[in-house]
Amino acid sequence: MSTSSQEKINSTAFSWRGLLKWSLVSFFVFAGLLNVFATASLLAEYRRWGYPGWMHYATGLLELSSAILQARKNTNRIGVALGAAVMLAAALTLAIQGEWLHAVFPALVLLALITSRITHQH
């Protein structure tokens, strides 16, 4: 393979990794803001799941913290781990509540986080 072909592949791979990273950062900003400024229906969900009234603030702040940490090169690993913990907790909460279909989304985000971390290993 020629050097220019290899550079083109590396450039393409880098852009996909960057797209995944910034998509995850955007997701956690959006989710964090939705939780911090929760609607009445979301607050009702938290109550139905048995969580205390402040839990949506904690979840939102953890998600926003994850986004900030993921965005920075030197703290990306910590941000991904924090985001993974939040998504694992969300998936488990939904699974325990029997909301299997809803549990798929946080599980997919968890998979995307794992993929993001694996592709940023080098």
- For residue range 20-49, what is the model confidence (pLDDT) as tens digits? 999 999 999 999 999 999 999 999 999 999
Per-residue pLDDT, averaged over 5-26, amounts to 75
User: DSSP class of residue 49?
Assistant: T
Question: Does the pTM of the predicted model rise above 0.75?
Answer: yes
Burial of 97 (0-12, 13-18, 19+ CB in 10 A): middle
**Lowest-pLDDT range, 9-13, 77-81, 97-101?**
9-13
**In residues, how long is the chain?**
122
**Percent of the chain having pLDDT more than 90?**
80
CA dist 47 → 60, 82, 114 (Å): 16, 23, 30
Instruction: Decide: helix, strand or coil at residue 12.
Output: helix
**Lowest-pLDDT range, 10-19, 28-37, 56-65?**
10-19
What rounded mean pLDDT belongs to the chain? 91
Neighbours of 93 (CB within 10 A): 18
- Rg of the chain over Cα atoms, rounded to whole angstroms, equals 17
